[in-house]
Every structure is written in C-alpha cells, then in structure tokens.
Amino acid sequence: MIIKYKCEKGKLTLLFTPEKSDPTTQQIRNTTFNTTTKLEMASNQCVFYLPSDWTIDSVHPDVFALAVLAAIYPFCGPKIHLPQGVSVDFHNQVKKVTKKQVLPVDLTLSPRKAPTHAVPALTYSGGIDSTAAAILLPENTHLFYFDRLIPEKGMKTLLNQEAAYYACDAMAKMGRTVHRIKTDMQYVRKPVGFSSFLADAVPAMLLADYYGFDTIGHGQTMEIGYQVGRIGFKDCKENEVGNPWYELLYAVDMPYTLPTIGLSEVSTTNIVRQSPYQAFAQACSRGKIKAPCMNCFKCFRKSLLEKVIMNQPLSNDYLDQLFAVKDVKRVLNASRPIYFSNILAYITSHYRGNHQKMLLLKRITRGDRLEVEWMNKWYPKSQEFIAPKYRNSVKREILKYAEPMNTRDIKIMQQSFSEAYFQHA
Ligand SMILES: [Zn+2]
C-alpha cells in the first residue's frame, strides 16, 4: 500500500494506492447477526479537519504510521510505503507483531517519546461506555469525538449526531477538554464503519504530539474486549481489540488505557448513572437529544438494562413496544449466540413479570439459571490494559464502583457463555 498525503491549513487528506499484494476485500464476521460479510475498500482517500496550524511535522512519523495502519489495516498487504521514514525500532516492532513492513526506515530517527507533561487522550462517543471511561480517567484527559462527515450529498444514513454533539458541549461546559474532529474516514470501507479497533483513535493519534499524549483510551467493555457473552472468552491481547494495537501503542510511548475493559455494561451503566454526566450520556446514535430512537437493538438492550439497574418496573406495554422493533426481532432471531447474551441474561434474571417474550428470552439466555452478580464486578487481570503511569489512579476510581472478581467469579464469567453453554441452550 502506498500512502501519500496533502495538507492545507489543517485539512489533511490521506491518499491510498493499493499494490498487487494488498487485499482489497476481506470476509469479516458480523457479530450482531453471526453472519459473514464482505468487507471492501470503497475509497482511496479520506480527510481529517485538524487545527489550522497542524502540519505533517506536528506528529512523529512513527505515530503517523500507526494512525495510517489503524485507518486501513485490513487492506494492508506485506508492505506499507509512507511519505516519511519511521524509526528502526518502530519498523522492527511492526514487523515482529504483524509480519508487515512500514517503509522507508529513517536510520537517524529516534523512537517517539511522549513529552514529560503529556496527558491522556480518550475516544469519546457521547455514549455510556466512553462516558464511564471519562469518569475513570483523570480530569485533564482530552476527549476526542469522531465527527462523522458524510462525503456525498444525499447519501443515506440512520446516524444522527445531535445527541452526541449535545453531550460534547455539555462535557466541555463541565470543564472537560473535548475535540470534535471532522472526518469521512469511516467511508474508506464498505460497509461503512471502522476498519480496526484503533480506528476511531486516529484523530487523537494525529494530534498526539500537537497536544502531547502519553496514552490512548477507549471505552470498550468486557463484552467486546474479552468477547464475554459471545463464544466463550478470549483474552483481549489475542483478539482484534488488543492485537496488534497493544504492542504497537507501547512502541510509540502511548500505551492503551482501556479503563472499562474489565467491566461489563452493567457496571459502566452503573458508573454513569451515579455521575452528573447521566443527564446527557446517550447510547443510541440514531435518536435526538434526550430522545433515544427506541427503534434499534442498542435502545432495547441499554434501556432495559438501565430500568433493571434503577429497579424500575417493566410494564407489558413497554415490553410489547420493544419486542416489536424490527431490528430487535432480527437480532433475537439470528443464529445463536444472541448478541450481548450476558447482558440479556442479567436483564432477564431480574425480571419477575409475565410477559411471554421476555420469559422466553429468559429461558434462552438462561437468565433463570445463571449467576449474574459477577457482572457488577471488575476483572483484575484487565489492569494490564491501563498505561502504567495511570494504573493506580484508574484502579482507585474503578474500585469505588466495583469490587474485584474472585476466582469463582472469573470462572463463571469465562465459562457461562462457552460453546458448551450454547449447545445446551
Ligand atoms: Zn436507538
């Protein structure tokens, strides 16, 4: 893959020219429906609106290279040719972890070291999980909202960023530093989305030396990070969340900080609910300000979870309305395991009513039999995903809300949704 760029008054355009050895299509797993989808490279460029005095010299070439990798990783073959040389150390580390080569190598370039007074950066969506991450990270963390530009007029999208903009503004009013970086990067791939788990951190990486960052944060929970509630349990370092990013972020002195990776959605909801941010944190990306669409699976899961946590009654009318949503029917009827099975087990285990569909969901997800209390606890091994500099302070914050899992909790977490469970379900 050949990478070129243009930069004018902070408008950065990345240009990608695939070579013969680059895979332009891939088969990927759609985890929501348990199907396979074709992923293809749909555009050979994307744009970022950075501060007007930003230039290519504002970022260390190794960090620039990592940002490019995060943006188009599935489409990169064995060699990535960059506009600027990377350090020997970074080149070697990329080769070791990914078997790919980032070129050219600049023999005179030292590896990137974060400045002494650096602060954390966090990708922030305005949703529950990244808000929980913002609560657990220090107050001086810079929050980066990935402001989605739609490249062509009239392009159809269900996305509505109103609520997220509102959340960004509200966060800023409360004294947090928030950056909204406009970009169309998600249109590089088709279907539209992020090409890797580090992709939404690309704006923060491009600005890593402009503002000075020493860690990249994200609000992934254990359902994504360890695939809990899907098939079994997979260590974060070995799945696509951590591999190859965990090691490559260390190579640019900006290790991952995933404060919520050892917590379930039950805990992140709990953390936000106890904070002043609950007034504007909103999971749904299709609804309006303080009005989630109530027409998507996320609204189904998150609104039921919130009601259960707050001990609010679930009326049959409310459940009728939720179970009638087309998106919800599709997810619940997809091949097993149902997306976010553990959260549905948690919700249904607390359900005492007589709604038939809810009772059926309870049986399917084993909300009637499973122990679910571990979802209120913290998985301590996950602390390896908190940058050493911030580990103690983030741990202190986590422990205000969740006690550490014991050996028994960990066993239940790892085995409750194993393959054997789904065969018997
Ligand atoms: Zn929704």
pLDDT of residue 338: 85
Cα 58 from Cα 72, distance rounded (Å): 21
Among residues 54, 39, 41, 42, the alpha carbon closest in space to that of 5 is found at 54
3-state secondary structure of 415: helix
316-323 helix and 356-364 helix, angle to the nearest 10 degrees: 60
pLDDT of residue 230: 77
Token look-up 């609520």 returns 163
What six digits make up the tokens of 4? 């070129």
How far, in whole angstroms, is CA 20 from its chain's centroid?
31
Cα 291 from Cα 299, distance rounded (Å): 10
Token look-up 């939720």 returns 322
pLDDT of residue 346: 97
pLDDT of residue 160: 87
Q: What percent of the chain has pLDDT over 70?
A: 98
Distance 301 CA to ligand 1 centre (A): 10
Q: What percent of the chain has pLDDT over 90?
A: 83
Determine the length of the chain.
Answer: 425
Distance 295 CA to ligand 1 centre (A): 5
Note the helical H segments in 52-173.
61-72, 88-98, 128-136, 162-173
Whole-prediction pTM: 0.95
pLDDT tens, position by position, 309-355: 999 999 999 999 999 999 999 999 987 788 899 999 999 999 999 99
pLDDT of residue 354: 97
Cα 27 from Cα 78, distance rounded (Å): 18
pLDDT of residue 422: 57
Mean pLDDT computed over 2-26: 95
Do residues 40 and 189 touch, judged by C-beta distance below 8 A? yes
Instruction: pLDDT band for 423, please (50, 70, 90 cuts).
Output: low
Residue 205 has pLDDT above 90, yes or no: yes
pLDDT of residue 419: 67
Distance 127 CA to ligand 1 centre (A): 11
pLDDT of residue 417: 79
pLDDT tens, position by position, 289-310: 888 999 999 999 999 999 999 9
Mean pLDDT computed over 11-27: 93
Distance 327 CA to ligand 1 centre (A): 10
pLDDT tens, position by position, 55-101: 999 999 999 999 999 999 999 999 999 999 999 999 999 999 999 99
Distance 298 CA to ligand 1 centre (A): 6
Among residues 76, 72, 81, the alpha carbon closest in space to that of 185 is found at 72
Note the helical H segments in 41-121.
61-72, 88-98
Report CA-CA distances (Å) from 271 to 135, 317, 343. 8, 28, 16
pLDDT of residue 150: 81
Cα 90 from Cα 61, distance rounded (Å): 10
What six digits make up the tokens of 95? 């080769």
What is the 3-class SS of 364-375, one letter each residue? HCCCCCCCCHHH
Distance 288 CA to ligand 1 centre (A): 9
Residue 358 has pLDDT above 80, yes or no: yes
3-state secondary structure of 425: coil
Residues near ion ligand 1 (CB < 5 Å) are 284, 286, 292-293, 296, 299
List, edge to edge, every strand of the sheet that includes 189-190: 25-30, 35-41, 189-190
Cα 258 from Cα 220, distance rounded (Å): 7
Other beta carbons within 10 angstroms of residue 264's beta carbon come to 29
pLDDT of residue 35: 76
